[in-house]
Amino acid sequence: MTATVPETAHDLVRLLEQLPELDAYRIELIDGKIVMLPSAAPFHNFIQTAITSQFFQQGWWSMVEQALVSPERAFEPKPDVVVTSHDEAADNANPFPAHRVAITVEIVSTDRDSDYAKKRAWYALSGIPLYLIVDPNEGIWELHSDPRDGGYRVVAHGRFGEDVELPEPFSFAVGTETFKVYPPRR
């Protein structure tokens, strides 16, 4: 592999993604910093699969850990789930433009500040209409909607076992009855 000096943080992400030694990591740009996350725990992965399959069954294109970009340049997150329509993804753009996303989902692992604050603000600034946070640490979820002025104006809360009622364009509920709470850390 021939390496060139990256001009931007986004170029550095592309370079790091090419290194086979880093295949086991999810590499993101969060608030101007490169973040490398190890593979997720089984409960996290189960929830991710359950969510993606529910969107897929309703005819939506749900992608896992798809890199997103927008004019808000200090970020290139890879949400746990990105949902869009087949038409919006027809050109196979990668990284994927955030303005084409209908909803992002983050399943909280250890970095709560990133999911609850930094990513939430970026998703809102980037105009993503819906942001769902699923927190297996607490057994709760939050659905954020109506992005304006760097934040979401409406937040719905619930516990695992309660459905997440999605507004248009979805008009269905994400079931959470099978979601598991992380066991206590040893």
Q: So what's the pLDDT on residue 65?
A: 92
Pick the most confident of 25-39, 78-92, 110-124: 78-92
Nearest CA among 121, 117, 118, 39 for reference residue 80: 39
Alpha carbon distance 168, 165 (integer Å) = 10
Q: So what's the pLDDT on residue 40?
A: 82
The terminus-to-terminus CA distance of the chain in angstroms comes to 41
Instruction: Please tell me whether residue 98 adopts helix, strand or coil conformation.
Output: helix
Look at residue 94 and tell me whether its pLDDT is greater than 90. yes
Q: So what's the pLDDT on residue 113?
A: 80
Q: What angle do CA 11, 17, 22 make, to 5 degrees?
A: 135
Alpha carbon distance 99, 135 (integer Å) = 25
Model confidence at 49, pLDDT cuts 50, 70, 90, reads very high
> Which domains does the chain possess?
41-174 (3.90.1570.10)
Model confidence at 67, pLDDT cuts 50, 70, 90, reads very high
Model confidence at 106, pLDDT cuts 50, 70, 90, reads very high
